[in-house]
Every structure is written in C-alpha cells, then in structure tokens.
Amino acid sequence: MPSPGTAPKINSLRLQTHADLNVLREQILAARDPQRSEVVICHGTGCLANGSQKVAAAFKEALAAAGIPAKVTPGIKTTGCHGFCSRGPLVIVRPQGLFYQRVQPKDAQEIVERTLVEGNPVERLLYKDPRSNENIYKENDIPFYKLQQRVVLHNIGKIDPTDITDTIAAGGYQALAKALSTMTPEQVVEQVERSGLRGRGGAGFPTGRKWRSALSAIKKKGRPVYVVVNGDEGDPGAFMDRTIMEGDPHAVLEGLIIGAYALGAENGYLYVRAEYPLAIRHLEIAMAQARTYGLLGANILNSGFSFDARINRGAGAFVCGESTALFTSIEGKPGNPRPKYVRSVEEGLWGRPTVLNNVETWANIPLIIERGGEWYAGLGVPHSTGTKVFSLVGKVNNVGLVEVPMGVSITWS
C-alpha cells in the first residue's frame, strides 16, 4: 500500500461557521503561487500497479539533483485516477498542462531538465492522435477527455485525496456549509427531488423519492434512522466507485453528511469491499481530517447538527452488494439476503428506516446542493438527468474511466 500521500500534517483547527470555511479557503489559495510549476503524478490503483510510486520517487531525486532555487522549486502532487488507465503512469506538468503518458522512473530526469528547467516538452512521451499521428500536448485536447463532461469526477486527478486543504481549496464542503447555514432539511430533500437524480448503482431508483419515503417511515416509526454508502462494487470490470473513493473521498463523505442532515440521521456507515485497500485508506484519512476540522462529529459547523460515520469492510462476498445482505453484514451476521416484503427505507439496519445509496450517488449530492436541483436537471435527458461514470474494459482502444451525460449514444468507429 502506498504512503498516505503528499499532504502536510493537519493542524488542530475546528471550523465554527460557513464564514470560517470561506476564510480558510481564501488563506489556502492566497498561499499558493499559480505560476509555480507542479508535477502531478497519478496514484490511482492502475498507475500504482504500473509503478507510479517509483516515478514519484524518481522525480523527487531528479528535482533535488537539478539544483533549482528553493523559491521556484516545482511541487510534486499525487492524485487519484485520471481515468486514462491504459496510458499510465500519467504525469501532468502544470500550469503548462503538458500531458505525459507511460512515464517510467528513468524519464523523470529528462522531464525535469527539458520541461521544468528549459521549458520544452519531451516529445516522445506525449500522446499521439491515432488517426493523424500528431502529438497532442495538453490533457484537455486529447479526444478521450475532450468528449467527456466531468461532473462527479471534476476534482479527481487535480486534488491530493489525502489532503483536506486541497479539497477545501477546490470548493469542498461548501455545499455542506450552505445546507447547514441556509437550508432546512426539507429544502435539501426538495433540491434532490428537483434534480431528478437516480441511483447510480444500477437500479436507477429516484433518489429524492427514496429520501421522501424514508421521511414518511420516520414519521410512523420514529428515529433512529441510518444512512449508508454502498461501496461493495463487485461487478466484473467495474471500478467507478473505487476511483471516486480513492480520488475524491471527501465528496462521498460530504454527500453522506448532507443526506444525514436532510433525514435527521446521527450515524452512518460506509460499506467498502476489503479488496479496495487504497479506497479504505483514503476514506479513513478523509474522515479523520473532517473530524479535526469540525466537519464530521459533534455540532458540525456550530449548527447543532451532529453526525458521525464508520467504515465497514466487506469480506469479498458478491451478494453483499445487495442491500439486505449488506445490512446483515453490517449487523455482524452472515451476509445473507432476506425477502424484501418491506423496503429498507422502512426496515433496514436493525429494523430501522435506512437510506442506502451507492458511492457515485452520494458524490452527486454536494453538487446538487451547491448549484441547485434545476442545474442538475438540465444535464442528461429529462427522464434520466445528470451524468454517469462508466468503466471501459475488454477489447477497447482506451481502457479507463469516462463520465458522460445520461442519454449519450455509443458510436463505434
């Protein structure tokens, strides 16, 4: 397992209000030099398997050997999966935006000397258009990325998932602060309903309707109510949820906290398969950092709302991706499914009202609250709004991860 990443040590700093969050974000951004070069190295599972950790170590050595003055020394950032898995390890040099593919440790010195010192690209490491055979220099100009609409994945490949300050600088937890300071729980549910968001786990059940049903069940049965993240992604070739948990764990956590506020839940669970050790590690780091900053736990942002969550590891049973089997596993029993005479929003964990959504669904919630349900409903098609993340595997030209609007057609060429 890789090291936790390039995050600085988190200082004890508990945020009290939405204004505190804004001030912190401004301080983080003000301390950064937008002109300073930065070497961004993909540390998603695919790139790690191809040696990106050794690439990062080689860059550190090459930068030290180059003798660049301390004031202009480029930074090194490790991120989650960029999606273009068949081309890894991936390295992007910012702010130029140069995109290097299949980078090996031996290439680090050449990139430092030619790109960071001299300002020239290393042509042999650039992506070549398969039709024209011409070099493409920047990530956003590559057809694989150019045709996507990244909404859920908008931060992945840009932030260090082990550094909450990087997430906050990118706008993380703004939606949570907005919900707690300016919205009632009912208004949060209304925005989710307006968005038209459907569950991204496969069934496509309307998320807002599920939440509304849970509220009706709570009125009849009372509390407690639980919120649960289904991260037991067992389908062959699927790695959408894993990528989100690895690359932007705070988005999942923020969505879960917002959902808990809307439903009045005090406790939640993130059920993640044990075969995803990096995702579990990054979620653990994210939760610890969120507690330190007062974004998870007691009296979040001094709002009077308290919520905490824990991670449950699945033991590799495919059936535990099914809701009732997942619940029995969390309860400490064998993960056996049970007849669904009653829906989980009425009787889920320990027989209590429970809202279970998958990773990608929860990661959409902060975007909906921050930008509004109407904005989200404008994406995709009327009966199925938003975007969807897909993993491309098998006999395809570009193995990897893409995000496109719902309703997009598949064209073979």
Peptide bond preceding 89 in cis form (omega within 30 of 0): yes
205 occurs within a structural domain: yes
Sorted by sequence, the CB contacts under 8 Å of residue 239 that are 6+ apart come out as: 45, 233, 391, 401
Same domain, residue pair 227 and 370 = yes
Residue 402 belongs to a domain: no
Mean pLDDT, residues 149-169: 95
Same domain, 219 and 330: yes
Hey, is 215 helix, strand or coil?
A: helix
| Rounded average pLDDT over 77-89 | 92
Share of the chain above pLDDT 70, in %: 95
At residue 73 the predicted structure's pLDDT band, cuts being 50, 70 and 90, is low
Q: Give the pLDDT confidence score for residue 322 in this predicted structure.
A: 87
Position 337 confidence tier, pLDDT thresholds 50, 70, 90:
confident
Whether 237 and 359 map to the same domain: the answer is: yes
Q: What is the mean pLDDT of residues 235-261?
A: 95
Say yes or no: 168 and 121 in one domain: no
Residues 306-336 pLDDT 10s: 999 999 999 878 888 889 999 999 999 888 8
221-225, 226-230, 355-359, 409-413: range with lowest mean pLDDT: 409-413
DSSP 125: G
Q: pLDDT digits over 157-166, tens only? A: 999 999 999 9
Which residues are within 8 A (CB) of 33 and not within 5 positions of it... i.e. 6 or more apart?
none
Mean pLDDT of 220-232: 95
* 56 and 97 co-located in one domain: yes
pTM over 0.85: yes
Find out whether 252 and 156 touch, Cβ atoms under 8 Å.
no
Highest mean pLDDT among 4-13, 146-155, 176-185: 176-185
Mean local confidence (pLDDT), 240-267:
97
Residue 139 has pLDDT above 70, yes or no: yes
Q: Of 80, 113, 146, which residue sits at a domain end?
A: 146
Query: Domain containing 56 — which CATH number?
Result: 3.40.30.10
Instruction: Judge if 134 and 227 occupy the same domain.
Output: no
Q: Based on the domain organization, do 293 and 254 belong to the same domain?
A: yes
> Is the same domain home to 184 and 65?
no
- 351 and 210 within one domain: yes
Let me know whether 190 and 319 are in one domain: yes
- Predicted local distance difference test score (pLDDT) of residue 69: 66
Q: Average pLDDT of the chain?
A: 91
Residue 354 lies in a domain: yes
Buried b (16+ CB within 10 A) or exposed e, 357-384: bbbbbbbbbbbbbbeebeebbebbeeee
In terms of phi and psi (left: phi > 0; alpha: psi -120 to 50; beta: otherwise), the region of 367 is alpha
Residues 171 and 286 in one domain: yes
Average pLDDT, integer, range 77-92: 93
Judge contact between 122 and 105, C-beta under 8 A: no
The answer, yes or no, to whether residue 298 has pLDDT greater than 70, is: yes
Give pLDDT tens digits for 369-382: 999 999 999 999 98
Give the pLDDT score at 251.
98
Q: What is the mean predicted confidence (pLDDT) over 93-118? A: 94
CATH for 233 = 3.40.50.11540
- 3 state SS of 247: helix
Q: Give domain status of residue 397, yes or no.
A: no
- Residue 230: pLDDT over 90: yes
75 and 189 co-located in one domain: no
Domain membership of residue 80 (yes or no) is yes
> Of 112, 146, 180, which residue is a domain's last?
146
394 lies in a domain?
no
Instruction: State how far the Cα of 128 lies from the Cα of 135, in Å rounded to an integer.
Output: 4
In a domain, 192, yes or no: yes
- pLDDT over 70 at 269, yes or no: yes
**Tokens 């202009």 appear where?**
72
Give the domain extent around 118.
18-146
Domain count along the chain: 2
More confident residue, 208 or 335: 208
pLDDT band at 410 (very low <50, low <70, confident <90, very high): confident
In a domain, 391, yes or no: no
| 12-44: pLDDT as tens digits | 489 999 999 999 999 999 998 888 889 999 999
